[in-house]
Structure 1
Amino acid sequence: MSDDIYQNLTQLGSDTVQPQSPDEAELERVQNPQADVAYNVRFVAPEFTSLCPMTGQPDFAHLVIDYVPGEWLVESKSLKLFLGSFRNHGAFHEDCTVTIARRLADFLEPQWLRIGGYWYPRGGIPIDVFYQTGPQPEGVWIPDQGVPPYRGRG
């Protein structure tokens, strides 16, 4: 594999400052060296945080992002910085989850993408948010996200 596909990366291997908002965060991508094969890529962020836009209190989620890449792969450090940029961002659970999915889908143009946002309860109600770009592609192994419904102490 040629190092040429990595030449435009600016964050990996460099000191980077955590973006203060999702709008400031810069996603980076590299050419997919296996673009002729349909396969699933999974990222799990079990400690995702954002802020309630009304109270400023922290909200916590377990995110599972699956995508079947086309020509592009997301560079993982840029994804981590992007997800971390929500820490001081005020938005409801639905908006955070769908914003992440749409930004990745627009940027990567994958064959398929889905996100499961499994949010921890606030006010006694967990809110789980799911988004996908279309039907799951045939012939690609995409495991269950493996996150059970919230049961509390039960």
Structure 2
Amino acid sequence: MYGERAIAEASLLCFENPRPGRVYEISITLPEFTCLCPFSGYPDFATLQLLYQPGPRVMELKAIKLYVNSYRDRTISHEEVVNRLLDDFVAACDPVWMQLEADFNPRGNVHTVIRASHGVRQPS
């Protein structure tokens, strides 16, 4: 299927920042993130909130969507997935500042929110 192929081949594409001299923020919400629990194998669902101040490059939205969807069958902890995604996003676009938050759906009466950041946020 073309969707599965697109997800399997996903990479984080970027384009040149159209306003490199201006401090501004980009906010992206990904409400349908899923991965697999490394202990039970059950699916974990989360809303990802990405907020960043671009450096030389801006991440392309469809590329982010496909890349994030590639985690749906990965067995990975909440903590590791947030840190790995953040590392990959930072490597792709070299932001001035970036924060990634994952708000995982409650399971077994436990609600988890993981937040990680990179760089120093500038006033905008």
Common fold, TM-score beyond 0.5? yes
Which among 36, 45, 51 is matched to residue 36 of structure 2? Answer: 51
Match of 2:6 in 1: 18
Match of 2:12 in 1: 27
SS at match of 1:101: helix
Moved over 2 A (4+): 15-20
Identity across matched positions, percent:
30
Provide TM-score, normalisation by structure 1: 0.74
Is the Cα–Cα contact under 8 Å of residues 49 and 60 in structure 1 kept in the other structure? yes
Which among 55, 58, 80 is matched to residue 65 of structure 2? Answer: 80
Match of 1:89 in 2: 74
Match of 1:66 in 2: 51
Task: Quote how far apart the aligned CAs of 1:91 are.
Answer: 0.3
Match of 1:110 in 2: 95
Structure 2: runs of 5+ lacking an equivalent: none
SS at match of 2:70: helix
Is the Cα–Cα contact under 8 Å of residues 96 and 120 in structure 2 kept in the other structure? no
Mapped partners of 1:30, 1:119: distance in 2: 30
Is the Cα–Cα contact under 8 Å of residues 18 and 85 in structure 1 kept in the other structure? no
Bigger relative contact order, structure 1 or 2 (CA pairs below 8 A, ≥6 apart): 2
Mapped partners of 1:135, 1:63: distance in 2: 20
Number of aligned residue pairs: give it: 122
Provide TM-score, normalisation by structure 2: 0.91
